[in-house]
Amino acid sequence: MLLLNDDYTPMDFVIVVLQKYFGMDRERATRVMLQVHREGMGICGTFPRDIATTKVEQVASFARQHQHPLACVMEEN
């Protein structure tokens, strides 16, 4: 699963998403957030399809509730 960079979502919000939905500690979440910021995307985990689908929906819903355009996508191996 990947988080995609945008010019509007605050870095702190991305860290919260990584902690809340992907079980990362603050240090790891910060590293992934910086990768998203610098490289345009960051890997937030590998999950079975049904769990990944749920996480994509959860992140999209949470971001919308907070009026951020943060996108989380699945990529198949």
The pLDDT-based confidence of 77 (bands split at 50, 70, 90) is: confident
Is 26 in contact with 65 (CB distance < 8 Å)? no
Residue 40, φ and ψ in degrees, nearest 5:
90, -15
CA distance 33 to 58: 18
For the segment 57-68, what is each residue's pLDDT rounded down to a tens digit? 999 999 999 999
* CATH domain 2-73 topology: Ribosomal Protein L30; Chain: A, (3.30.1390)
The pLDDT-based confidence of 19 (bands split at 50, 70, 90) is: very high
| Global confidence as pTM | 0.94
Owner of token pair 């992907």 = 22
Question: What per-residue confidence (pLDDT) applies to 76?
Answer: 85
For the segment 3-18, what is each residue's pLDDT rounded down to a tens digit? 999 999 999 999 999 9
What are the residue boundaries of the structural domains of the chain, listed by start? 2-73
